[in-house]
Amino acid sequence: MPNLNVAVLGSPGYSRELVKKGTESDVTLYNAKRGDATLTLIEASKYPEKLAPLFYAASFADYAILVVDQIKAAFGETVVMLDCLGVQSGIIVPMNYITADQLKRFTRGTVTEKYTVMEDDLPQLWEHMMAEADRTTTGSPSGTGTVVVDHYFNVRGVGTVALGGVRAGQIHHHDKLLALPTSKTAQIRSIQKNDEDCETAEKVVLCAV
């Protein structure tokens, strides 16, 4: 199942016009599916109040949408963060009459220099992202599975449900995970992707385990 993880940065709440809202903390996740392709949008909901959410959102992304309604410090920090983390592909959406030429002064020499500049047109953005997701393939990852946990909660009769994503390798039903930084282990009793039961999950596909 192709999937695209997209950091949507610069305008908290922008994603709610595009897809269904999921979990919310320092970062907010939004999820969508069309056919076999899925999208997970990640917003740094507590940035610029705190810098860490910007890092979390950008580090989890394979693709970025950078919404620019003002050219100010937060915009510069976001460009630097995307460049440092090597998020190579994305879109810049200028607003409030900001031009592509104005943006070039700040994106030159960074990964964002190669981003596609698009108008604030939600249907067009949606189609562009779904086309990117259709082109994304997970291949056949190997090696130890690594899961980043965003949320967890207990369900009576089920146990602990962890929400997060596989960032390396592949995990399987009945695998055991080491819960870092502790020495405790947890067995995977079931895996869900977009509310569908699965036997495996692999890099870039968000899941619930």
Q: What is the pLDDT of residue 17?
A: 84
Contacts of 140 (CB under 8 A, 6+ apart): none
Residues 155, 127: one domain?
no
Is residue 140 domain-resident?
Answer: no
User: Residue 137 pLDDT > 60, yes or no?
Assistant: no
Do 162 and 116 lie in a common domain?
no
Strands 37-43 and 3-9: parallel
Residues 119, 155, single domain; the answer is no
169 confidence band (pLDDT: 50, 70, 90): confident
CATH number, residue 19: 3.40.50.300
Give residue-wise pLDDT tens across range 76-95: 999 999 999 999 999 999 99
Question: pLDDT, tens digit, for every residue of 6-18?
Answer: 999 999 999 988 8
Please compute the mean of the pLDDT values over residues 102-121 and round it to a whole number: 95
DSSP of 88-110, one letter per residue? Answer: --EEEEE-TT--HHHHHHHHTTS
What is the pLDDT at residue 206?
Answer: 39
Do 118 and 204 reside in the same domain of the chain?
no
> Band of the pLDDT at 209, cuts 50, 70, 90?
very low
**Is the pLDDT at 24 greater than 60, yes or no?**
yes
| DSSP character at residue 112 | G
| CATH number, domain with residue 160 | 2.40.30.10
Same domain, 75 and 165: no
Shared domain for 119 and 22, answered yes or no, is yes
Please report, rounded to a whole number, the percentage of residues in the chain having pLDDT higher than 70: 89
- One domain for residues 7 and 30: yes
Same domain, 118 and 161: no
Are residue 117 and residue 179 in the same domain, yes or no? no
Domain count for the chain, please give it: 2
Strands 146-155 and 159-168: antiparallel
- Based on the fold, state whether residues 68 and 158 are members of the same structural domain: no
The span from the first CA to the last CA of the chain, in angstroms, equals 17
Last residue in a domain, options 135, 159, 179: 135
User: Tokens representing 191?
Assistant: 């895996």
Tell me the Cα Rg of the chain. Answer: 18
For residues 126 and 150, membership in a common domain is answered with no
Mean pLDDT computed over every residue of the chain: 86
Q: Give the list of residues 6+ apart from residue 182 with CB closer than 8 angstroms, or none.
A: none
Separation of alpha carbons 126 and 140, rounded Å: 27
User: Is residue 141 included in any domain, yes or no?
Assistant: no
Please tell me whether residues 83 and 181 are part of one structural domain.
no
Structural domain ending residue among the three candidates 135, 160, 193: 135
* pLDDT on residue 197: 85
Greater pLDDT, 180 or 93: 93
Is a pLDDT exceeding 50 seen at residue 190?
yes
Look at residues 135, 159, 176 and tell me which one is the last residue of a structural domain. Answer: 135
Structure confidence at residue 207 as a pLDDT band (50, 70, 90)? very low
Domain interval for residue 12 = 3-135
